[in-house]
Structure 1
Amino acid sequence: MKSRKYLVYDVFTDTALAGNPLGVVLDCEGLDTAAMQAIAREFNLSESVFILPPDNPRHRARVRIFTPDYEMPFAGHPTVGSAVALAEQAANDGTAGMFVLEENIGPVRCAVTKGGGATFAEFDLPKLPQQLDLSIDAAVLGAALGLSPHEIGFENHRPSLWSAGVPYVTVPVANLDAAARIRFDNNAWMDLAPSKGEGIVASAYAYCRETVHHDSAFHARMFVPGNPSYEDPATGSAAAAFAGTILHFDEPVDGLQRYWIEQGIEMGRPSRLRLEVDVESGKMAGARIGGNAVKVAEGVLFA
């Protein structure tokens, strides 16, 4: 039985015991898919990553991402956490640099920087968000979130379905009060939410313009349907999909647009995600997700 080092990072935060926790298992040569899934189930975090040698020697690593129940093609907080972990594990204390991680969705370019505090990493979206068909009555959608129909939508924002590798129903809600009162009804959501490939049911990403922190552009909550369902404190793949929502409804001017998104506050796991969007001729030319990550534990896995 081979022993393998593992790390636990809190991602999209510069403070331990906040943000979204991530298990990182190093040196995973020899582990098959079933073993990775079993280890992810043992960690029982929203996601765990397994670091393998890259297929392309010019890249830094091959990264496989698992929830306790299934493998993900792509996810944001595992990408940020993996990039920070690999940079901090480098022999030259490599807390800065640019490299490529190989994920199931394809190659993902990452940039890591070290300032005076926690390490920061960002990645280019490997796939830009696409809008998918959605037809759900506001009353039905509101009921699944425990809200009234009049609390769904603000300004010109309406519920829509987007995917940048993982599908999300982005649901505008009236304000912070409405966001705080959301009570996710998993059975109702499973009845209404579309399923897009590999049995993945679109998750609920509720957002509002009113925020707790003055420098945040949006306040968000994200709910994953399933058995059991759960709320996620920080979701990079949802922010990636949400970039499409912003471009569609807000129509930002050409140039670099930067947004800070706050999430996880209602859970006591406050998180901050940075979304950057390159707008050219009114269209999205590129986008990046970034955030800090803090190592909170390490140990040896005998499996």
Structure 2
Amino acid sequence: MALTYHVLDVFTERAFGGNPLAVVLDADKLSSSDMQTIAREFNLSETVFVLTPASPGHTARIRIFTPSRELAFAGHPTIGAAILLAELRTSLVNGDSDAIIALEEEIGSVRVGVRMRASGATFGEFDAPKVTSTPEALSEPEEMSAAVGLISTEIGFENHKPVLLKSANTFAFMPVSNLDAMSKVKVTPQHWMRAFTDRGVHGVFLYTRQCLRAQSAFHARVFAPDLGVPEDPATGSACASFAHIINQFDALPDGTHKRAIEQGIEMGRPSSIALTMTVSRGKLEAVRIGGYAVRVAEGTLKI
């Protein structure tokens, strides 16, 4: 059996930046074990498998795998798969086109608006799944700071404190004082297990207001070693949850708020994630995640 695959760089307008993603097409005949083996072979933070949708109203069904496990939902695979399917299946008019790609994911249906333009990279944006839990304060700051190679005084800024948010993927959010401290972050396994693994945390999202790009509102790094991802260049699902952290600590006024989040810079994979938040009566009513993607490779898998 031979299957076509594409590799895209997601959350970037240029090749060899952003978060690389493998997308395997026509994967209906693959078993879950096959998919996990292929994801391990690509060894990217995620690999997407495109299958026939259960409902004719959807564009495709997708399954998402890290090198070590399947995920119910993830941001850059959603953006990348939708952009690829739009580019492969949508006819352009004078080089431009818009499309709605409806994806069946393990978490449910996710609709992605895709904007294709002859003048540049393709942009995709989706409404993030609702988060029903609320942020929980994280104690034991010395254990947590040691888990990421920092000292406790480098954790926190203004009123921002470490919190845990449970959603499709559970993330710990750790505010870091400045860029200098962010540059020193590294996983310390003996502390990581007690601080995060034992709490069921999928990944840790570290962030600071100090940024390298003028258009960015936050600088972030994400580590998910328990998912087989030592560091992630761009993490859309974490940014979707991060919206709740921003609203909690920054007390956003009612209305629509846009924030650009830079990530992956320390890895040499600069990424930009567009976060849009709608607040009504102090509550976060809607979250959208957007970004560009570019195709960089394609080939054939021989199974």
Please tell me the root mean square deviation across aligned C-alpha atoms, in Å. Answer: 1.6
1:219-234 matches, cutoff 5 A: 219-226=219-226, 230-234=230-234
- Per-residue deviation at 1:76? 0.4
What TM-score results when the alignment is normalised by the length of structure 2? 0.94
Residue 201 of structure 2 is matched in structure 1 by 201
- Structure 1 portions without partners, runs of 5+: none
Q: One-letter code of the match for 1:80?
A: I
- Per-residue deviation at 1:148? 1.6
Report the secondary structure of 1:164's partner residue: coil
2:259–2:275: 8 Å Cα contact kept in structure 1?
yes
Q: One-letter code of the match for 1:166?
A: N
How far apart, in 2, do the equivalents of 1:191 and 1:141 lie? 9
- Per-residue deviation at 1:91? 5.0
* Alignment partner of 1:124 is 2:127: yes
1:114-263 matches, cutoff 5 A: 114-115=116-117, 116-128=119-131, 130-193=133-196, 201-226=201-226, 230-263=230-263
Deviations along 1:246-281, whole A, 9 cap, x unmatched? Answer: 011001111111000000001100000001111011
Residue 21 of structure 2 is matched in structure 1 by 22
How far apart, in 2, do the equivalents of 1:224 and 1:302 lie? 30
1:131–1:162: 8 Å Cα contact kept in structure 2?
yes
Q: One-letter code of the match for 2:36?
A: Q
Residue 87 of structure 1 is matched in structure 2 by 86
What TM-score results when the alignment is normalised by the length of structure 1? 0.94
- Per-residue deviation at 1:149? 1.1
Q: One-letter code of the match for 1:71?
A: E
1:201–1:225: 8 Å Cα contact kept in structure 2?
no
Aligned length, in residue pairs: 299
1:129–1:243: 8 Å Cα contact kept in structure 2?
no
Runs of 4+, deviation exceeding 6 Å: none
Residue 9 of structure 1 is matched in structure 2 by 8
Between stretches 208-217 and 161-170, larger displacement belongs to: 161-170
Report the secondary structure of 1:247's partner residue: helix
1:131–1:160: 8 Å Cα contact kept in structure 2?
no
Identity %: 48
Report the secondary structure of 1:226's partner residue: helix
- Structure 2 portions without partners, runs of 5+: none
Residues 229 and 52 of structure 1, relative CA distance in 2, 3 Å threshold: closer
